[in-house]
Amino acid sequence: MAVFSVGVSDHMMIAHSLRGETFGPAQRLHGATYEVRIELRATELDADGIVADIGALRDALRETLAPLEYRNLDELPEFKTRNSTTEVLCEHIHRQLSRRLVAIRGAGLEVTLVESPVAWASYRGPLSP
Amino acid sequence: MAVFSVGVSDHMMIAHSLRGETFGPAQRLHGATYEVRIELRATELDADGIVADIGALRDALRETLAPLEYRNLDELPEFKTRNSTTEVLCEHIHRQLSRRLVAIRGAGLEVTLVESPVAWASYRGPLSP
Amino acid sequence: MAVFSVGVSDHMMIAHSLRGETFGPAQRLHGATYEVRIELRATELDADGIVADIGALRDALRETLAPLEYRNLDELPEFKTRNSTTEVLCEHIHRQLSRRLVAIRGAGLEVTLVESPVAWASYRGPLSP
Amino acid sequence: MAVFSVGVSDHMMIAHSLRGETFGPAQRLHGATYEVRIELRATELDADGIVADIGALRDALRETLAPLEYRNLDELPEFKTRNSTTEVLCEHIHRQLSRRLVAIRGAGLEVTLVESPVAWASYRGPLSP
Amino acid sequence: MAVFSVGVSDHMMIAHSLRGETFGPAQRLHGATYEVRIELRATELDADGIVADIGALRDALRETLAPLEYRNLDELPEFKTRNSTTEVLCEHIHRQLSRRLVAIRGAGLEVTLVESPVAWASYRGPLSP
Amino acid sequence: MAVFSVGVSDHMMIAHSLRGETFGPAQRLHGATYEVRIELRATELDADGIVADIGALRDALRETLAPLEYRNLDELPEFKTRNSTTEVLCEHIHRQLSRRLVAIRGAGLEVTLVESPVAWASYRGPLSP
């Protein structure tokens, strides 16, 4: 089966801390610049010859990141009961972004956060209903 | 199931315009530098221990891009009836490149075009017969 | 002597052609995605501890690139009598951007345009009066 | 089905030669810097909200690369009977790294080696038992 | 005059806030991943044919970054009276690193911090006595 | 004073060893992929609006790297009496490339070799006579 995808990226800067001995020094309040990369997949192109409009995708991503940007994530309700790890942030952005893409056809969405030159995480799944 | 892949990249510079209100200012004649990345997949390596020869892949990619390079894509027959969007270019290069790889074993081919530091598209599918 | 600098980047997509045998196939109408990187230098920081505000620099750069973006540069008066080479575009953006930075202290400005994964050009000089 | 992944990277510098006419000048003794990128996949996160600890992954990768680093691979027993191509090195690192990750849950592991700005290879498969 | 340079990079993740209306939303507690790039310059090479040992430089840089890493910079004495802007951090790291390089010949040192895919700052000057 | 520059890049893969205790494990035969970046500077543009033709620069760089590529540098006469460190290679390439650029105006030339994701060196000076 053939698959098309279209991807766009943006970035955000946040503070947070991580609970659990696993995290060592990252249990202290620190922060990160995340490059956020999203890919939307589809098995067919629309009449214009695209999976989705890049400008619309970038706007939807920007709106999704806005409530997180320049924030201490420890203070947000979403991250009171679970750690705002890179993996959890990928899933959170995937769910929030899916809601903004309801009008857009697409068989799947992958969200990748690059947290440093040597580490990243991603979450991919169907567009949440 | 395990999968090997080998990838090479090249680039090309083209002019084009895109028909349809969706494209906003990109309806005007403009252009792009595309970094073109291809990945060939196989479930087994050959007797030399490779999926395919990198040099042969780079040559095949170069020959595939040559008819597009330094061109106004609006003037090419292939793009008279459909837009030369990044997605469509991925599929076009996939089909043209497949023909040059008939002697090469491979379970699948992915073509990715990076059009700017924040946008890209790809097409993956079996090697066209 | 010690020197501080602050840099920001953006990008634009344009079409153009280059006059002169030197340019070979680039004499044909084609295009480019330019990653545009600017660096502003100063020998001292201001009271806030910065050379200049990154947000203000990014806005000034965006406004400078807007009249070029998604254009065929061959049709602009600035490039009727000289080629819109990467070097010439660097100088053009340097001059236009200098005018938008008159309120900003700075000992020098460098503008770099990356035109492909293997080629770039730059122009550096004092902020034009 | 949804999939999480976490990735880390490192690098190593080695010498080797490749047997077979296919390899042209690479039959001579030469070398490479490989950027080594690994991705571990899982369908669920653990109680800490991660696929695996990035620090533990980076340590396991470092230990896996140590016996190869600053070596002439032609002299290692593993590569006496088969070429140390980029693809073969991906599979070798995948197998060695899998053994170090036995305590880590994960549905799959992908190892990618970037050998130059224009060429790379990868191997993905289940964590070897 | 001819100049040699040698460069190495590392990275760190920190939290901080910036005082002053100029900084807009960055007045809130947030954070950053900084890629830290240093370049040491010299007009001549030593008897080994190097400006300085890359391993020694990377160790000196690592030790310099350790007291900042995974910290809220707002709590450090150095940044009580001035903002921990990217420019100020460059100068701070330059001064701390200079002390660790007293045994190393070098005509100058440049420290660059990349804070996002679209913004960076640097400080260059003589090795502090 | 204002300065223009134009830059191009290429890469090569070599084997070598380094003499001297400073180099630790790099005293063993190993290898590297070097991304080779060159920048030519000039205070004025020529009649075509360029510092130098990118195609001509890339060809000159390719010819300069050819005698080194896929070689064990330990066997070349140039590196019998001095180490083929990254710094020494920068100067060597600068001298060889200068000879190929005699017909090209230019106030200076910088050669940078990136040896890994975290280390690089450079040499800049006037075009050798």
Classified as helix, coil or strand, C119 is strand
Helices (H), chain F: 54-65, 86-100
Rounded-to-integer distance, Cα A57 and Cα E40, Å: 42
Block means of pLDDT (10 residues each) for chain F, 129 residues, are 95 98 96 98 95 96 98 97 97 96 82 98 88
Mean pLDDT over the full length of chain B:
95
Q: Which residue of F has its CA nearest to D115?
A: F33
Q: What is the DSSP letter of D73?
A: G
pLDDT at E68: 98
pLDDT at C63: 98
Question: Per the CB < 8 Å rule, is E85 touching C1?
Answer: no
**What is the DSSP track for A5-74?**
EEEEEEEEEEEE---SGGGGGGGSSEEEEEEEEEEEEESS--TTS-SS-HHHHHHHHHHHHTTTTT-BGG
What's at B57, amino acid-wise?
L
pLDDT at E102: 77
Q: Which of D1, D51, D55 minimises the CB distance to A87?
A: D51
Chain F touched by E49 (CB under 8 Å): yes
Rounded-to-integer distance, Cα E4 and Cα E107, Å: 10
Contact of C11 with C33, CB cutoff 8 Å: yes
Q: Do chains D and F touch (3 or more CB pairs under 8 A)?
A: yes
Chain C touched by F3 (CB under 8 Å): yes
- Residue B102 pLDDT level (bands cut at 50, 70, 90): confident
Is C67's pLDDT higher than 90? yes
For B125, the token pair is: 């599918």
Residuewise pLDDT in 10s, chain A (129 residues): 799 999 999 999 999 999 999 999 999 999 999 999 999 999 999 999 999 999 999 999 999 999 999 999 999 999 999 999 999 999 999 999 999 997 676 779 999 999 999 999 999 999 865
Mean pLDDT over the full length of chain D:
95
Average pLDDT over residues E55-73: 97
Hey, which residues does D124 pair with through a beta bridge?
B3, D110
Taken in order D74, D80, D82, D87, the sign of the CA dihedral is negative
Tell me chain D's radius of gyration from C-alpha atoms.
16
Is C125's pLDDT higher than 80? yes
- Residue C118 pLDDT level (bands cut at 50, 70, 90): very high
What is the per-residue pLDDT across D55-78, written as a single tens digit (0 to 9) for each?
Answer: 999 999 999 999 999 999 999 999
Rounded-to-integer distance, Cα A73 and Cα C55, Å: 23
**What is the DSSP track for B10-75?**
EEEEEEE---SGGGGGGGSSEEEEEEEEEEEEESS--TTS-SS-HHHHHHHHHHHHTTTTT-BGGG
- Residue C128 pLDDT level (bands cut at 50, 70, 90): low
Question: Per the CB < 8 Å rule, is C121 touching F4?
Answer: yes
Question: Per the CB < 8 Å rule, is D22 touching B51?
Answer: no
Classified as helix, coil or strand, C109 is strand
Rounded-to-integer distance, Cα C112 and Cα C38, Å: 6
Contact of A3 with B124, CB cutoff 8 Å: yes
Contact of E127 with E99, CB cutoff 8 Å: no
Portion 105-124 of F in contact with E at CB < 8 A: 117-124
Rounded-to-integer distance, Cα C105 and Cα B115, Å: 35
Tokens 């060695």, located at residue = D96
CB under 8 Å to A19, separation ≥6 — which residues?
Answer: A27, A83
Contact of C29 with C80, CB cutoff 8 Å: no
Q: Is A114 left (phi over 0), alpha (psi -120 to 50) or beta?
A: beta
pTM, to two decimals? 0.97
Portion 52-91 of C in contact with B at CB < 8 A: 69-72
Closest Cα partner for B4 from B47, B38, B45?
A: B45
Chain C touched by F49 (CB under 8 Å): yes
Which residues of D fall within a CB distance of 8 Å from A24?
55
